[in-house]
């Protein structure tokens, strides 16, 4: 197929820092992206992810640290010579040029021979389903088609690394999903290294082979979507990833040496005087009978139902509790609960988490006092 002729390049950041006066946009950051890998940088607005991408592209220079691409230190290498192509959120196409003209523009500027330009443009257009649109102008395209032209413009340059800066945020919901799938498919087909920035954690988990979660200029965790979701390194990652978000309640050590909060009394790991219990909405199971109709007494706590969101394939049950917290449970479509019901709720403790006062997750799962140690 010949579209990608160059081997994919790895990217490595070593102790990279970027300051703007007092503002530290990126601090002491180490990250290794393997050749051919698709890594998504994700975090809330202002966490430094665009800055990081610009540092890799060479659009800005780090205050400290080193950027390596393809085994070569590139701190002093111009953006155009770094073997990277960037796709921006605002994918300004030239309105007076056709699709073919826009796709080939970067190559023309570089003095690439005409037949080579034509070949690469045709290949990129075919890969992106734009072959029938080559003679149109951007004003005659849908938003999704324009986004694909922007992608194609990066593709024809045959880069060792693709950088995407929130390329989907201007698209409507459906197109967003489709373009996301197209990028994933493109990655599978081309095998090019891709670094993708988004603030949307759902997009990050669905697209990334690995996800790098950032907050306030720091890398919080790098891992597969599954690792980041199931074994979040800290409370920030646990809260940022997952929708609805993880349920939390603060706990404190009592005189009996237990961690207590709301209805819970847990074994306290050594040295932990305060902690936060975190339970994912899907790790709560609900049953009716919270008002004495419960012959076994099973369940970890009881709460009143505040509101039920019926989403078709699942229900989100908003609870008045435990304690002063307001938790959300995810339940199947057949559970019958209504606002005002009291329900008993069991927690999947082995999948739940304890976070220490510094936010770091404890290795051991939380364990209620009235239970034997899990096998």
Rounded Cα–Cα distance for residues 90 and 56 (Å): 19
Q: What's the closest the beta carbon of residue 295 comes to ligand ADP, in angstroms?
A: 53
Cβ proximity to ligand ADP, 205 vs 343, nearer residue: 205
Residue 43 lies near ligand ADP (rule: CB under 6 A): yes
Nearer to ligand ADP, 47 or 84 (CB): 47
Tell me which of 27, 49, 153, 233 binds ligand ADP, using CB under 6 A. 49
Q: Are 201 and 246 in contact (CB under 8 A)?
A: no
Residue 48 or 278 having the CB closest to ligand ADP = 48
Chain centre distance of CA 87: 18
Cα angle, residue 272 at apex, residues 270 and 273 outer, rounded to 5°: 130
Determine, following the binding rule CB under 6 A, whether residue 220 of this chain makes contact with ligand ADP.
no
Binder to ligand ADP among 1, 22, 45, 255 (CB under 6 A)?
45
Q: Which two tokens stand for residue 171?
A: 């698209």
CA dihedral 196, 50, 280, 173 (to 10 degrees): -60
DSSP annotation of 28 reads E
Q: How far is the CB of 62 from ligand ADP (least distance, A)?
A: 13
23 binds ligand ADP (CB under 6 A): yes
The Cα–Cα gap between 228 and 354 comes to: 15
Cβ neighbours for 76, distance < 8 A, ≥ 6 positions apart:
none
Residue 117 token pair: 């330009």
Residue with Cβ nearer ligand ADP (18 or 120)? 18
Structure tokens at 240: 């940022």
Instruction: Mention every residue, 6+ apart, whose C-beta is less than 8 A from residue 122.
Output: 131
The window from 18-26, 137-145, 184-192, 287-295 that contacts ligand ADP (CB under 6 A) reads 18-26
Residue 19 vs 119, nearer CB to ligand ADP = 19
State in angstroms the smallest separation of the CB of 47 from ligand ADP: 4
Residue 298 contacts ligand ADP per CB under 6 A: no
CB 68 within 8 A of CB 147: no
280 contacts 351 by C-beta, under 8 angstroms: yes
Q: Would you say 82 or 199 has its CB closer to ligand ADP?
A: 199
Q: Is residue 167 at the binding interface for ligand ADP, with CB under 6 A as the rule? A: no
* Only segment of 46-54, 106-114, 144-152, 240-248 that touches ligand ADP (CB under 6 A): 46-54
Q: How many CA atoms lie within 13 A of 90 on its CB side?
A: 1
For residue 151 the two structure tokens come to: 């992608």
| Cβ-based nearer residue to ligand ADP, 43 or 152 | 43
Q: Is 70 in the site for ligand ADP (CB under 6 A)?
A: no
> Is 312 strand, coil or helix?
coil
Smallest distance, ligand ADP to C-beta of residue 48, A: 4
Q: Closer CB to ligand ADP, residue 49 or residue 180?
A: 49
Site for ligand ADP in 334-373 (CB under 6 A): none
Phi, psi (deg, nearest 5) at residue 276: -125, 130
Nearest Cα to Cα of residue 287 among 345, 332, 348, 349: 345
Q: Does 27 bind ligand ADP (CB under 6 A)?
A: no
Do the Cβ atoms of 342 and 290 come closer than 8 Å?
yes
Among the listed residues 35, 46, 244, 288, the single contact to ligand ADP using CB under 6 A: 46
Name the one range near ligand ADP by CB under 6 A: 17-25, 122-130, 177-185, 248-256: 17-25
What's the rounded Cα separation, in Å, for the pair 47 and 280?
A: 24
- Taking the least distance from each CB to ligand ADP, the nearer of 8 and 208 is 208
* Residue that is written with structure tokens 């709720």 in the block: 345
Give me the least distance between CB of 20 and ligand ADP, in Å please: 3
Residue with smaller CB distance to ligand ADP, 26 or 103: 26
Min. distance of Cβ 24 from ligand ADP in angstroms? 8
Scanning the structure block, which residue is given the tokens 């999903």?
177
Residue 208 sits in the site that holds ligand ADP (CB under 6 A): no
Q: How far is the CB of 214 from ligand ADP (least distance, A)?
A: 7
Q: How far apart are CA 20 and CA 32, in angstroms?
A: 24
Q: Which residues bind ligand ADP (CB under 6 A)?
A: 20, 23, 25, 43, 45-51
């Amino acid at each position: 197929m010949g579209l990608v002729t160059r081997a994919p390049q790895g990217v490595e950041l070593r102790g990279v820092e970027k300051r703007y006066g007092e503002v530290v946009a990126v601090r002491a950051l180490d990250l290794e992206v393997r050749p051919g890998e698709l890594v998504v940088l994700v975090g809330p607005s202002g966490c430094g992810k665009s800055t990081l991408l610009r540092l890799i592209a060479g659009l800005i220079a780090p205050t400290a640290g080193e950027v390596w691409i393809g085994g070569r230190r590139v701190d002093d290498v111009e953006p155009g010579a770094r073997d990277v192509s960037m796709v921006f959120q605002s994918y300004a196409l030239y309105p007076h040029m056709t699709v073919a003209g826009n796709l080939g523009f970067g190559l023309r500027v570089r003095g690439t021979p005409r037949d080579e330009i034509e070949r690469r443009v045709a290949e990129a257009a075919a890969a992106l389903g734009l072959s029938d649109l080559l003679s149109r102008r951007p004003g005659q395209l849908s938003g999704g088609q324009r986004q694909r032209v922007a992608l194609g413009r990066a593709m024809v340059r045959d880069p060792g690394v693709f950088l995407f800066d929130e390329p989907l945020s201007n698209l409507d919901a459906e197109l967003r999903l489709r373009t996301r799938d197209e990028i994933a498919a493109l990655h599978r087909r081309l095998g090019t290294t891709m670094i993708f920035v988004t603030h949307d954690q759902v997009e990050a988990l669905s697209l990334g082979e690995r996800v790098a979660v950032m907050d306030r200029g720091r890398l919080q965790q790098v891992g597969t979507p599954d690792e980041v979701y199931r074994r979040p390194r800290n409370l920030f990652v646990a809260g940022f990833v997952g929708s609805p978000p993880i349920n939390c309640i603060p706990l404190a050590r009592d005189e009996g040496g237990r961690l207590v909060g709301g209805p819970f009394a847990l074994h306290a790991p050594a040295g932990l005087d305060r902690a936060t219990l975190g339970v994912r909405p899907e790790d709560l199971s609900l049953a009716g009978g919270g008002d004495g109709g419960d012959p076994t007494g099973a369940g970890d706590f009881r709460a009143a139902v505040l509101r039920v969101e019926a989403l078709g394939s699942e229900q989100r049950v908003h609870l008045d509790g435990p304690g002063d917290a307001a938790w959300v449970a995810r339940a199947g479509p057949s559970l019958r609960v209504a606002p005002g019901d009291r329900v008993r709720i069991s927690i999947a403790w082995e999948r739940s988490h304890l976070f220490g006062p510094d936010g770091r997750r404890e290795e051991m799962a939380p364990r209620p006092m009235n239970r034997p140690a899990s096998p």
